[in-house]
Amino acid sequence: MSSEQEAESIRCLVAKVGLDGHDRGAHVIARAFRDAGFEVIYSGLHKAPEEIVQAAVQEDVDVLGISILSGAHDTLVPKIMDGLEEYGAKDDTLVLAGGVIPDEDREGLKEAGVAAIFGPGTSIEETIEFVRENAPQR
Amino acid sequence: MTMDADDESLLEALLAGEHRALARVISKIENRSPGYRELVSELYAHTGDADVIGITGSPGAGKSTLVDKLAEEYRDRGETVGIIAIDPSSPFSGGAVLGDRIRMASAVGDMDVFVRSMSARGTLGGLSTATADAVKAMDAFGKDKIIIETVGAGQNEIDIVRTADTVAVLVPPGSGDDIQTLKAGILEIADVFVVNKADRDGADRTVQELREMVHLGEESGLAGGSGGHHGADVMSGSDAAVEATADEDEGWTPPIVETVATKGTGVETFIDELTNHRTHLVDSGTHAEKVRQRHAEEIRTLLREDVHSLLEDELADSGGIDGLAEAVRLGETDPYSIASDMLAPVETCIENLETETRGDGSSQE
């Protein structure tokens, strides 16, 4: 292995936002991403949108996965997107949403800039594949 | 060294204080993406103002929590903080879960605390270089205090933490015999000892044991105390004669601070001791010596890596390592002969260079 070779790794932030204490899904995703060879930063529970933005910007993540099971996605996700835009990070961060998100809300989230929404029943492989194919080339 | 236009504007943005630019530069350093060397080389001109603090200790000692409180206190004093939190990565998948951020709650919403998680990407040796370069980036950005946090597990971590001017080693109470096991390597690098979770049973005893150890070390000159970083130096195998004198922390006895990081108790005393050590370094002239020595190590590492990658190319040209390894397996040759054969042209090259440059005084080493 040449030490000069590029050592790029896909960096992901797995984030729990708002008043939502259900983090099993986020844990499963974090672990699966790690096993797929990604570098995963886990935010911890009950984070405010600003905290997620701060972490995403400072860690310079390629992928931001937001897990929401509280139903507050229509409020929280746009706040995160605005924050990313403020720091010039919106365009080259792949934002994913997971959790319980009704079909009728999906269009709105996509318009806000979410690349894909993975609801209950999505296979882990599918999610990993999506990240591999769509992680931004910088 | 010249940079392309993108890197040029990235550097400008970093120097102008854009957080995103700092984050991007650190990514480039971590990824070793094209142009990162030119970038880091430009950064050097803007470094030297930050105070670099290394914090290490066993898993669960409370490093992240203490770092968080440290950052909070520094912010209260009006100083900006950069934190590099290092987590191990899986040697199998290369993946990692970087969890130190979870415990850094007081940094939240304050962009002047810049937390960056890093993991070893395959080669551990590369991590200390990447960490040192990331410190440069934060320094150039204008951070007053830069904290490197890493699990004190072995030689690589020691190398990482030696990037710092001042090293604090966390020892959980009730370690008892653990202190004995810590002795090899980790304890020698401590400039300040912190007994965290000091409200727990056994804290007094741990402080006592540490104190004894520090004094013993002073008498024998082998561990802790004036001996400073001997153990680490001997192991890193570099110019022992130079470093033995270079690393002598003349007259510094590592203080032992008791903290309860979760409550913030003792953090101010801890900061005072860090400042004391910094003052000591500067006053005694050890600081300049340390910095010089660190740069020497950086140069060595870079040269080693560069020569290594040159040889990798040569290796690929001669059919890759697999073929050679197979030849060894079949008993046709041996690793030593292969290494000599491959290095022969390099040696000839260097000899030629020496004859060419003889007289103008420039050394090729």
A114 domain residue, yes or no: yes
pLDDT, one tens digit per residue, over B106-144 is 666 778 899 998 887 655 556 778 888 999 999 999 999
CATH number at residue A18: 3.40.50.280
Q: Among A39, A45, A91, which would you mutate to test the B interface (most chain B Cβ atoms within 10 Å of its Cβ)?
A: A39
Within 131-170 of B, beta carbons closer than 8 Å to A belong to none
For residue A79, the chain B residues in CB contact (below 8 A) are none
Closest CA to B192 of B74, B66, B310: B66
Provide the pLDDT for residue A3: 39
Residue B345: which residues within 8 A CB-CB, separation 6 or more?
Answer: none
Report the run of H or E that residue B192 belongs to, with start and end. strand B192-195
Compute the distance between CA of residue B241 and CA of residue B230 in angstroms, rounded to an integer: 11
Q: Cβ B117–A2 below 8 Å, yes or no?
A: no
Provide the pLDDT for residue B218: 67
A22 domain residue, yes or no: yes
Provide the pLDDT for residue B183: 56
A75 domain residue, yes or no: yes
Compute the distance between CA of residue B238 and CA of residue A119 in angstroms, rounded to an integer: 55
Q: Cβ A6–B33 below 8 Å, yes or no?
A: yes
C-alpha distance from B305 to closest chain A C-alpha (Å): 6
Provide the pLDDT for residue B334: 92
A2 domain residue, yes or no: no
A5 domain residue, yes or no: no
Compute the distance between CA of residue A13 and CA of residue A61 in angstroms, rounded to an integer: 6
A81 domain residue, yes or no: yes
Radius of gyration of chain B (CA): 22
Number of domains in chain A: 1
Which residues in chain B land under pLDDT 50? 222-248, 361-365
Compute the distance between CA of residue B130 and CA of residue B148 in angstroms, rounded to an integer: 12
Mean pLDDT, range A32-45, rounded to an integer: 90
pLDDT, one tens digit per residue, over A74-121 is 999 999 999 999 998 999 899 999 999 999 999 999 999 999 999 888
The one-letter amino acid code at A53 reads V
Range of the domain at A75: 11-134
Nearest CA in chain B to A86: B20
A1 domain residue, yes or no: no
C-alpha distance from A27 to closest chain B C-alpha (Å): 10
Nearest CA in chain A to B88: A39
Asked if B115 has any chain A CB less than 8 Å from its own CB, the reply is yes
Listed as own residue / partner, the contacts of B326-334 with beta carbons closer than 8 Å and 24 or more positions apart are none
C-alpha distance from A31 to closest chain B C-alpha (Å): 7
C-alpha distance from B82 to closest chain A C-alpha (Å): 10
pLDDT, one tens digit per residue, over A49-79 is 999 999 999 999 999 999 999 989 999 999 9
Provide the pLDDT for residue A67: 94
Residue A62: which residues within 8 A CB-CB, separation 6 or more?
Answer: A10, A11, A12, A93, A94, A135, A136, A138
C-alpha distance from A106 to closest chain B C-alpha (Å): 28
Q: Under an 8 Å CB criterion, which residues of A touch B?
A: 1-9, 11, 30-31, 33-44, 48, 50-51, 54-55, 57-60, 87-89, 138
A3 domain residue, yes or no: no
Provide the pLDDT for residue B236: 41
